[in-house]
Each structure stands twice: as C-alpha cells, then as structure tokens.
C-alpha cells in the first residue's frame, strides 16, 4: 500500500515538473514598426539566432529566406525587407550576420493585381542583427512621407522561403514623427 501511495505521489509530482518545464517563456522581443520623420524601423524577432544558418541548400533561384514588411503607401503597396535567393545551389553555412551579408535588402512596389513587384531604385535599406532580432531601417525622408504619409495603423510582417516557417502578422505602427507633421 505504501508503495502505491509513494508511486502515485511521485507520478503526480513528476507530471507537475514536466508541465513546469514545458511552459513557454514570454517573448522578450516582439515585432515592432516605428516611424520617425526621417526614418522607419522594423524589428523582427528571430528564433534561435545563434544556430548555424544554412543557405544555398535549395535548387538554384529559389527564395530561401525572406523577411518583408508590406506597407499600404500613399500611391501603392510596397514591401521593404531582406531576402536571399539561392543563385547557384552551393550549400553554405554561417552566422546570421553572414546570412545578412549574402542577402539583398530592397524596397519593392507591388503590382495592383498582386501578381508581381518592381524594384524601387535609389532607396537604401539597412539590415542588421541586434540581440535576437533583425532590424530593418530605411533612412530617406521623402520615402518615409511616401510610405507613411497617410499614417496606416498597421503594416504586415511576412516571413517566407524554403528555409523559414511562413507567417504573416499585422503589427501596429508607432509614429514618432512630429517634425514630419509640422512640415505639412
């Protein structure tokens, strides 16, 4: 009888220990979109930043990694972000920063029918890792007005590619652009 009680008590406690270890920790880093008068900044949380990142493992010309922000701008929809299209199917691996250095950071104007996009020339997009995040920044006052002049309430964060889990998340935009409003 004592063994049965001891076993039952042990089973009850071990279940409690398993549940306690399995509880998800709250995310310290969340996706953010912040607009200033002269720049906009988008922050993607990155899971397992310190792992070995692999690229060049899909067939040539496939998109392996894409972190994009879709914005309903004044005149059209735009995407800002970083992507890596595998040019030659030669496997490589390295740190997240090495992956960033091989990718392309751009602004794209989306076609009205949603079936294509054109590259926007003359807008520099900076991508860097900060802690466990990817920080995408555009510093161009004219383009900030074009993208955020109508002050959309949210933007869409999208991840895709053969090496990423696809996701779409609407993120509320925080505006810190009093100087821009005074210019109107």
Q: What is the pLDDT of residues 156-169, one digit of tens each?
A: 999 999 999 999 99
Spatial separation of the C-alpha atoms in residues 77 and 65, rounded to whole Å: 21
pLDDT at 119 over 70: yes
Q: Where are the domains of the chain?
A: 28-182
Q: What is the pLDDT of residues 57-104, one digit of tens each?
A: 999 999 999 999 999 998 999 999 999 999 998 999 999 999 999 999
> Per-residue pLDDT averaged across 28-37, rounded?
85
In the numeric block, which tokens belong to residue 10? 């042990």
Distance of CA 40 to the CA centre of its chain: 14
Task: Answer for the pair 144, 78: CB distance below 8 angstroms, yes or no.
Answer: no
Spatial separation of the C-alpha atoms in residues 149 and 147, rounded to whole Å: 6
pLDDT at 180 over 80: no
Query: Is the pTM higher than 0.85?
Result: no
Q: What is the pLDDT of residue 157?
A: 98
Spatial separation of the C-alpha atoms in residues 71 and 152, rounded to whole Å: 8
Task: Answer for the pair 125, 137: CB distance below 8 angstroms, yes or no.
Answer: yes
pLDDT at 121 over 70: yes
Cβ of 72: how many Cβ atoms within 10 Å?
16
């Amino acid at each position: 009888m004592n063994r049965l009680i001891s076993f039952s008590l042990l089973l009850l406690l071990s279940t409690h220990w398993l549940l306690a270890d399995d509880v998800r920790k709250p995310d310290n880093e969340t996706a953010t979109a912040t607009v200033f008068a002269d720049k906009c900044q988008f922050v993607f949380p990155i899971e397992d930043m310190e792992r070995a990142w692999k690229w060049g493992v899909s067939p040539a010309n496939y998109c392996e990694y894409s972190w994009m922000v879709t914005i309903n701008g004044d005149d059209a929809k735009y995407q800002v972000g970083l992507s890596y299209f595998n040019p030659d199917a030669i496997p490589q691996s390295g740190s997240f920063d090495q992956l960033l250095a091989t990718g392309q950071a751009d602004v794209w104007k989306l076609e009205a029918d949603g079936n294509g996009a054109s590259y926007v020339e003359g807008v520099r997009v900076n991508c860097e890792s900060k802690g466990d995040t990817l920080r995408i920044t555009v510093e161009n006052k004219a383009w900030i007005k074009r993208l955020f002049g109508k002050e959309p309430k949210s933007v869409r964060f999208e991840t895709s590619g053969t090496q990423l889990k696809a996701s779409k998340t609407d993120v509320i935009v925080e505006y810190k652009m009093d100087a821009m409003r005074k210019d109107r």
